[in-house]
A and B are shown apart, each in its own frame.
Chain A
Amino acid sequence: MGRISSWDWEVGRKKVVDSLSPLQDHEWQEEPYVSPDGETLAAIVKVGDGEFSVRTNDEVWESTFEKLWFLRYSPDGRLTALCQQDMEWSLAIDGEPWGDFAEYVWETKFTRDGSSIAAMTKIDNKYSVALNGTPWETVYENANQYALSPDGKRTAAVVQVISLGQADVEGYKKGVFSVAVDGEPWDGRYVNLFTPTFSPDGARVAAQARLTSYDYTIAVDDRPWQKTFQQVWEPVFHPKGAGVAAPVRSGGKWGVALDGQFIWNPRYVQCLGLQYSASGEKLWGVVATGFGKFTVACDNVPWDATFPIVTDLVLSPDGSRAAALTSEYNRNFRIVVDGRVWPGTSDMAWPVVFSPDGANAAAVTEKGGRFHVLVNGKAYEQSFDRAFSPVFSEDGSKVLIRAIENNSCVRIVADVARF
């Protein structure tokens, strides 16, 4: 039994917070966040002059800070916010700062299970990544696009290892960037590196690499593929170790290469967001089969229907099913699951979530300011002032709805069968 099973799954409705109006003496209250289990609603509140804290249900953190922002729940339910005290920054977890304060801290990231938390850190004008409060020992004049390994044990970022004078274009072209893993830089120097990413076991790192101004490829553990391309996008590791795949552009068209060899011949106007199924047997991605004709492809076979925009490709846990959001240039959103469009359009939509067995799919949409929770294409009987992404029970038979209605926060457990 996992973490989710320990939540309250009794069918019914519960008011988590009666009134969301600011508590007494709070000058203001910022936008709300709801815990994964739906039992707590949190918001940054202003408690005094230059003094901020966090409200959780009808309580308030004991600690106060000069500044607070980026309030986010870790998947394991810990509540975090970037905080400033005496002009220095940290990450507050349930009100307590992690590790030492720094010149700046930002870009909080969590592992899927929430066991590890990371953030970018600046100390004495040098940059590194902090993992669970501890920054790298080696620091850099710049670091960005950092990644946290799926097991939460490692971090990597693009780092600048050679300084550049003003407008030193020749120096730049020789390569001043590297990838640092747990602070240790690769030996290679690159014109650019983008989006380092870890293998599922955290042992390897791949990144988009620009070898010369005109040659892009993927570098895996500092070894660029033999072949170069006009452009590349984010690489993904095969889950069982059978290589690294990435969208690549050649002759003005996009395809997919695995370890440098085409596995999807370049024939698309666009291709991005690759994801492997859990077994690695299937490879999914967003493709454009023509100008303004986007869809999802599995193993190089696009769905029949195309749309002006496709975003937020989500796979079922085993990767046999897929869902995505589509829109007409950010209007008339539709949810598409396995190539079939759910009925109705909305003004906004949030990514689909699958039940653990992959049998059911749910999503939140918004239309005319009202939020709807949909399961398998059918809307819950009631709409809300605001709803957060639903969560399925581990057996997939129930769905947790977290929402705001009439100035209160509610938690509803509904049978999936009733949809």
Chain B
Amino acid sequence: MSDILFEIKDLEVSYGSIAAIKGISLEVHKGEIVTILGANGAGKTTTMRTISQLLKAKSGSIRFKGQELTQLPAHKIVKLGISHSPEGRRVFGILTVEENLLLGAYTQTKMDREVLDWVFRLFPRLEERRKQLAGTLSGGEQQMLAIGRALMSKPEMLLLDEPSLGIAPILVKAIFKQIKEIAESGVTVLLVEQNAKAALKLADRGYVLDVGKIALSGTSAELLASEKVQEAYLGKKH
């Protein structure tokens, strides 16, 4: 694989005295889809929030295109080209779909009409509901909105935290298909998932996080074949 776009080295994150991330390292190359798998409480969301600087690292480094992120305030991250669709979607419920999308383009001096059209092509449901309050959308539609909103800043790297959370399997399929399309358009994707099967089908490579440490990493094929992953996450017994 070509150049490293994004790199985490020896990252540690704590909540007070409780260590949640205990020294992880990972890298993402340009154009890849990389997934972080792990059970509840493994530290996936903590990692994502630390990348976006909503949480501050205790030690270690996070670099994007060579630039160190850990000393930056959270609002400066998106401008660098990293956009984050957070766990639980966090759409602005009392604002309309359209207002949510415009807020996604907040760092753009001028909202790019083409990006908006692209988001509507990816998720036509959003265009139909553009005047509807985001809080009244279904869970799946809110997830589409969260992803669409994240795309509005024209990111180079997209962070997706459990886009399948609480969504019917058929919609999950549709959303994952669109994630693939987003990646094919040139956006690098870092995808956090509990749904290991779906994530590994989509991703090029993956890391398995286990109580704050990386237990396993490899290509998707390797991980799918690994007994540990099969047992722990794919529900197969040997």
- The reply to whether chain A is a binding partner of chain B is no
Interface set of B (CB-CB < 8 Å, partner A): none
Interface set of A (CB-CB < 8 Å, partner B): none
